Amino acid sequence: MIEDIKKNAEKILGQIDFKAEIGLILGSGLGVLAEEIEDPVYINYGDLSNFPVSTVEGHTGRFVIGELSGRKVIAMQGRFHYYEGYSVQEISLPIRVMKELGIKSLILTNAAGGVNKNFSAGEFMVISDHINLIGDNPLRGENLDEYGPRFPDMTEAYSKELIKTAENSAAENGILLRKGIYAAMAGPTYETPAEIQFLDTIGADAVGMSTVPEVITARHMDLKVLGISCITNMAAGILAKPLSHKEVVETAERVRPQFIRLMKDIVKNI
Ligand code: HPA
């Protein structure tokens, strides 16, 4: 693992002449933000050592490194999910590589189902906390002591300061930004209505199949974390209609202009 982290970081550092400050992970249908990055250097996951390759429709598989809103960023255009068959340890590799490249903050975006009945499809939610229901943890196994402690504190997994920054950016841009708890499921099935009722009962506001393994890895290394969900659909059983990946991607595309505006302003102000 450590060898792959160092080798990949070195390979990427050989192609850029600056340190990245902010990492960005772009979720389903949200990869377009990477096209806003100026003077981009592209690094395909396939050219890296032991790197997983994203298999989902709506996900491209590469790092895009350059400048966004005047800040040096490294974006993952396409991410890895547990349901694709990757271990949570494999999912954590890119996060460790980005840490080696110098990032201090990590912004994660995702498409999520709305569990909170006050939400509507097309809205954004800043993640205040999460509930890990994937049933696995990327830090299981031997601890990588040089990156962080055996038993990391998760009291403030999502930086209060960055949440404030996101809320200010949303307000300044006239964008409604909900705040809530993200529950991570293994997938790839969408949830049953009974599962959604359960998630509602235990305090979740949104549900998705990503983000949490990456956040745990980032917190292990004491990176500051911000999570933004795009509520692409209301979760199963809330509205009388079936869920589809098509709807998820279509909603993400519909709110693209607001998403780009919000993210660029957040990056500027971090
Ligand atoms: N459930 C789980 N993951 C999702 C959903 C959902 O309803 N929408 C987008 N990702």
For ligand 1, the distance from its centroid to the CA atom of residue 262, given in whole angstroms, is 21
- How many domains, the chain? 1
Q: Give me the CATH number covering residue 99.
A: 3.40.50.1580
pLDDT grade, residue 18 (50/70/90)? confident
Determine if the peptide bond prior to 188 is cis (ω within 30°). yes
For residue 236, the ligand 1 atom closest to its alpha carbon is 7
C-alpha dist (Å) from residue 17 to 136, 161, 212: 37, 29, 31
pLDDT for the residue numbered 57: 55
Expressed as residue numbers, the domain containing 90 is: 2-269
Active site residues: 28, 59, 81, 83-84, 111, 209-210, 233, 245
The rounded Cα 34 to chain-centroid distance in angstroms is 14
Q: Where residue 155 falls among pLDDT bands split at 50, 70, 90?
A: very high
Which atom number of ligand 1 is nearest to the Cα of residue 185?
A: 2
Q: Summarize pLDDT for 195-220 with one digit per residue, the tens.
A: 999 999 999 999 999 999 999 999 99
**Helix, strand or coil, per DSSP, at residue 79:** coil
Q: Which residues contact ligand 1 via a Cβ below 6 A?
A: 111-113, 190-191, 207-209, 232-233, 235, 243, 248
What confidence tens digit (pLDDT) does each residue in 174-192 have?
Answer: 999 999 999 999 999 999 9
Q: Which amino acid is at 149?
A: P
| Whether the predicted model's global pTM rises above the 0.85 cut | yes
Torsion sign across C-alpha atoms 70, 226, 139, 148: positive
**For residue 192, is it left (φ>0), alpha (ψ between -120 and 50) or beta?**
beta
- Mean pLDDT of all residues belonging to the chain: 94
